[in-house]
Chain A
Amino acid sequence: MKYYFSTISQIVIKDLKIELRTKETIVPTFVFALISICVFHISLSFGLNSYQKVSIGIWILTILYSSILIMNRSFSREIESESLSAILTSPIHHDALYFGKLSYNVIILGLVQVILSPIFYILFEVNVYSYEMLLIFGLGTIGICSVGTTFSIMTAFNTIRDVLMPLLLIPIQIPLIIAIVESTNILFGFNIGNSSELINWILLLVSFDAIFLVVSPIAFCIIVKN
């Protein structure tokens, strides 16, 4: 077990070290996310008195597409540098590779959200700094990445992976997106709902994460083996 967790941490540290040197994922992703929310802000400023009701949708859309950029890079980098086989020929559990990559994706996507949130707050006047929001977006980030990490190995060998990834990823994430939107709408008072409804939506997020944290590594191992 100690070896299993040490393998996961070795993979995360290695990927973060490479990212720190190349910045080839975080910089383009952050720039993309920034441009997206600025474009939304400019385009919506002519038709709406208040951005708040659409702000969470904008945030989710931006984060969802940013996550695709991040996860597309996580395995294509291994394949471009011909180093995936180094891991595959080592005596590690393939699901340790999955959880290593998942952790890395969650860290990078989390980091993008942390950097982006003050800008979002200024532009859309939505306070995302609360424990409830942290919980909802934390669960959302894990959910997005748990599915996406498996799809990223599936599409990594494909030349049209940039197109394939959103086509595969977004439909599966619809329950997750609904749960985030509904729970945040209750939190901001846009939807009439009480705290028990909020808990139900959060439970849906937890269930989504739990299911895909079990199913995704199994699917991942099958894909890697084949």
Chain B
Amino acid sequence: MLSKNKNPEIKISNISKYFNHKVAINNLSLNIYKGDLITLIGPNGSGKTTLFKIISTILSPDSGSLEIKGLNAVKKSQLLRNKIGLTSHESFLYKDLTIKENLLFIGNLFRVENIEKRISYLSEKFQMKKYLDKPIHTLSKGLTKRATLIRTFLHNPEILLLDEPLSDLDMESQIVLIEFLKQESSNNKTIIISTHQIELSIDLKTQIAIINNGKIINLLSKTPSSISILKKIYSESLKSGVAG
């Protein structure tokens, strides 16, 4: 996407996705390189979540091609899933199981080595150690979100897809998450964040992709210096309509 001369880590070529004949992703193309940190911003229903579901191989595109690490993501989805971590609006956690039981279950599916150690490290990082034996249905939204984030990072994925990662988190947890993402980014992880909280892109100094009507309408390779400039670019991009 930016300056890179290597092969893209994620190569999205003219993909489209329809739900009941209604377009959700419209001929979208985007190259994302290893180590990129990108924020995806756009209005509700612009296609952010669908795009994340396609990249995470939960959904297949109706047309176009998606390559991840040089592999066809539709045909080789099983191989690639180990390398992708997805946080969605849904928690992906079993409400009648404790946090630890959930993490052990998911960790075993992902064949995580030293799983207890990894759970201990992440739960300490996100201040969840004392809640590990609590069932999910007894937790507040914020604690459930923290458990969801631990689940996402559990198998140490190389590509992180975070859909509204800050929602439901208190200020302290948001700071912890931002620091963690900075650390992951410095470890050359590819991180894509979808958010309405555009200040996050300033905090993390990310590249910014503006999406509307299932298309990327603007791509900023450099983070604007202030939120007000970003807001101006955002509204102008939406007004100017669809690019390609």
Residues of chain A touching chain B, judged by Cβ–Cβ distance below 8 Å, are: 3, 6-7, 10, 14, 17-18, 21-22, 81-83, 85-93, 225-226
Contact = CB atoms under 8 A, between A and B. Distances in A.
A21 B57 CA distance: 32
B180 interface: no
B93 A88 contact: no
Contacts of A92: 78, 109
Size class of the B contact interface (CB-based, 8 Å): 20 to 34
CB-CB nearest 8 A-B residue pairs = A82-B90, A86-B92, A90-B109, A91-B81, A91-B82, A18-B96, A81-B95, A10-B108
Contact of A89 (B79, B86, B94, B105): B86
Interface in B73-103: 78-79, 81-82, 84, 86, 88, 90-97, 101
A14 B110 contact: no
Contact of A91 (B79, B93, B96): B79
Contacts of B96: 18, 21-22, 81
A14 B81 contact: no
Contacts of A81: 93-96
Nearest to A6: B108
Given A17-B97, A22-B96, A82-B91, A91 B78 contact: yes
B141 interface: no
Given A14-B94, A91-B79, 11 more contacts: A6-B108, A7-B108, A18-B94, A81-B94, A81-B95, A83-B91, A86-B92, A89-B56, A89-B86, A90-B109, A91-B78
A10 B90 contact: no
Contacts of B106: 86, 90
Q: Interface residues of A: mostly helix, strand, loop or mixed?
A: helix
A88 B78 CA distance: 9
A5 to B, nearest CB: 12
B151 interface: yes
A3 B82 CA distance: 14
Contacts of A89: 56-58, 81, 84, 86, 92
Contact of A85 (B84, B90, B105): B90
Nearest to A9: B108
Could you say which of A21, A87, A89 has the most chain B C-beta atoms within 10 Å of its C-beta?
A89
20 contacts: A3-B111, A7-B108, A10-B105, A10-B109, A14-B94, A14-B97, A17-B97, A22-B96, A82-B90, A83-B90, A83-B92, A85-B58, A86-B92, A86-B93, A87-B109, A88-B58, A90-B106, A91-B78, A91-B79, A225-B60
A17 B96 CA distance: 9
Contacts of B56: 89
Contacts of A14: 94, 97, 101, 105
B58 A90 contact: no
A83 B105 CA distance: 12
A136 to B, nearest CB: 35
Contacts of B95: 81
Nearest to A93: B78
B79 A83 contact: no
A104 to B, nearest CB: 14
Contacts of A3: 111
A10 B104 CA distance: 10
Contacts of B101: 14, 17
B95 to A, nearest CB: 5
Contacts of B109: 7, 10, 87, 90-92
A225 B81 CA distance: 14
A14 B84 CA distance: 23
Interface string B40-66: 000000000000000011101000000
B121 to A, nearest CB: 20
Contacts of A18: 94, 96-97
Nearest to A19: B96
Contacts of A87: 109
A74 to B, nearest CB: 13
Given A17-B97, A89-B56, A91-B79, A82 B105 contact: no
A92 B96 CA distance: 23
A89 B81 CA distance: 6
